[in-house]
A and B are shown apart, each in its own frame.
Chain A
């Protein structure tokens, strides 16, 4: 299964500030009543972006200056709460291809990586400086370099971190693990034969 190698993500950025932004906020539970992920892009941050009557609230994702952004700048512990993959799916389907944050909740991080969407961690100061530059010039081109673990914009650059396993998976085009897992072949049957199983008796 040949997958795209995610070495760099280049695009415009938008800052969605705040810490501990949970997956209920990213995709409210009523949008989970679906049997496919299609169309979830519309649900992204819905209750933060729209009032009950559908009117727009002030939110970076409603700001026309940041329309078309593909890199999201976030705070600490982004994506905490529920394991719903609907959240990274909604972010991806809304056009995002990378996130830069202070830290990410684990399940969210894994779900995003398996979608080919890197979540790289950076210092608060670096993120804030980049956010200020983007606010000043929304057309600013930002590069998330997954291979060199750095973010570049204008004449600036800062280092980011990413667990080695995720970095390897992304740059080698193995971010969807299914092919690797299937390769275990008979090892799976052997493991099943020796490991406990709940059986009605």
Chain B
């Protein structure tokens, strides 16, 4: 019986077995940001410990950075204190920091891959649940708490239990207008928001073979929304082509050796899985959420559920979601009025997302009364968008073109929903209050669907609004 990539990486990174039976797992790459690290550095100090391998930790600032102006001090004194604290910590411990003045700052899960820091076969940890994004490269990457950030700083290891592995095959051809975001929203809808508890997800099949790295990242990013702490795709030529020449990728003869090593890490053909799920690509529609968790989604052509038609045990949850979203049981999701359109986040804030939207947005205008915000995932993405004329397309359409950061995905910076505003969002979470207003409402969807909502002022089918699919000839 062969082994999965997960097993191979796990075995090569196991340092020893701990007294409670867990494995002490070595973490190759540690990513930190301003929100979940200051307390960890504080704990380190209290224990009189140093950062054991400072060259294995990389820092950026993303959650609290304002996206309209980087003038310091920031208007929000708490945000300002956080960035100053991070600078102090990285300076004291000799950690590489992609600061706002570096030209490379951005969302931690955008810049890791962009810089080539994220590599196949690595174990990667970060105090952020969307660390699963890095699994797109065939890395075992997962989010950790702040006490664990301390553990990695102090020892470069974590006390972990081994996960089971579920292989998710998506075979066939995606229908026109169906994107990576729809694939993961569909998977979460099918397997549930807690279906992945105890599992790592291995994504494969022809759809993933054909996906670009950025599409794979979109899917892996939201593994945690399905309860799976990590999700990955086996490394292949697409992975190597993406990485080659990036600043932190190996070069020359070392590159050749690395590629050979990475190829051998991919799951064996006869690998054993704890579970296998098969999904037909043709069954996936442009998907939007109607509720208050990412599993509460439906096809854009569908109606929201009518709790009366569900078993009694499920009704309270459905009613709570519909009440928060101010939707009527059984109403079509298409046509629901939108107040805000947000394009960005570690799920969909990469260059390919902005390129794809710009194709359709050119010559269109944001509907009156809609506040539309475009937030590139990194300063590198922002520059590319300027150079390619993409930023101008967004500005001309009436989008506010902002600086890099997490922004309205979780609203720790000044970008927030107000009151009961409804936001068409390319981000990853539609939890109550997620976008900064306790009564705010979030509808998750692909970037092109966000653009369709922005120009029509309502949740819309991008295939109708833009003729998506006809243009790309998919």
A residues bordering B, Cβ < 8 Å? 18-20, 22, 24-25, 28-30, 32-37, 47, 52, 76-77, 80-86, 88, 103, 105-107, 110-111, 114-115, 163-166, 168-169, 172, 174, 176-178, 180-182, 184, 187-188, 191-192, 195-201
Contact = CB atoms under 8 A, between A and B. Distances in A.
Given A80-B193, A107-B129, A188-B156, A25 B432 contact: yes
Contact of A114 (B78, B81, B147, B412): B147
Nearest to B226: A80
**Residue among B82, B193, B436 facing the most chain A CB atoms (10 A cut-off):** B193
B252 to A, nearest CB: 8
B82 A35 contact: yes
A199 B258 CA distance: 13
Given A18-B320, A77-B193, A180-B18, A85 B36 contact: yes
Contact of B39 (A25, A37, A52): A37
B128 A83 contact: yes
B412 A115 contact: no
Interface in B132-156: 142-148, 150-151, 154-156
Contacts, number: 221
B437 to A, nearest CB: 9
Given A83-B144, A107-B129, A199-B248, A20 B293 contact: yes
Nearest to A19: B317
Contacts of B81: 35
Given A28-B438, A81-B429, A85-B147, A201 B15 contact: no
B20 A114 contact: no
Interface string B66-93: 0000000000101101100100000000
A201 B244 CA distance: 12
B20 A172 contact: yes
Contact of A177 (B12, B18, B38): B18
B61 interface: no
A55 to B, nearest CB: 13
A181 B317 contact: no
B26 interface: yes
A187 B151 CA distance: 15
Which among A106, A111, A115 has the highest number of chain B CB atoms within 10 Å?
Answer: A106
A111 B412 contact: no
A24 B12 CA distance: 35
B26 A192 contact: yes
7 tightest A-B CB contacts, nearest first:
A111-B145, A83-B143, A85-B145, A47-B438, A77-B194, A33-B78, A35-B38
A196 B250 CA distance: 10
A86 B37 CA distance: 12
Contacts of A191: 13, 15, 26, 156-157
B26 A83 contact: no
For chain B, the bracket of interface size reads: 35 or more
Nearest to A164: B21
Of B81, B198, B431, most A-chain CB atoms within 10 Å? B431
Interface stretch (B48-56, B166-174, B350-358): B48-56
A36 B39 contact: yes
A162 to B, nearest CB: 12
A169 B145 contact: no
Contact of A33 (B52, B79, B431): B79
24 contacts: A18-B320, A33-B82, A36-B39, A47-B432, A76-B194, A82-B429, A83-B36, A83-B129, A83-B131, A83-B143, A83-B145, A84-B145, A85-B147, A114-B148, A166-B20, A168-B21, A181-B154, A182-B155, A187-B16, A196-B258, A197-B29, A198-B28, A198-B58, A198-B122
A32 B434 CA distance: 13
B121 interface: yes
Interface in B23-50: 24, 26, 28-29, 35-36, 38-39, 42, 47, 49
Nearest to B58: A198
Contacts of B151: 177-178, 181
Interface string B299-322: 000000000000000000100100
Given A77-B193, A192-B156, 6 more contacts: A77-B194, A115-B147, A182-B154, A184-B155, A198-B118, A199-B55
B412 A35 contact: no
B102 to A, nearest CB: 13
B393 interface: no
B159 interface: yes
B143 A107 contact: yes
Contact of B431 (A22, A34, A169, A184): A22
Contacts of B38: 35-36
A5 to B, nearest CB: 13
A28 B38 CA distance: 18
B368 interface: no
A178 B44 CA distance: 10
B19 A200 contact: no
B432 A24 contact: yes
Interface in B197-243: 197-198, 224-225, 227, 229
Interface in B303-346: 317, 320
B438 A52 contact: yes
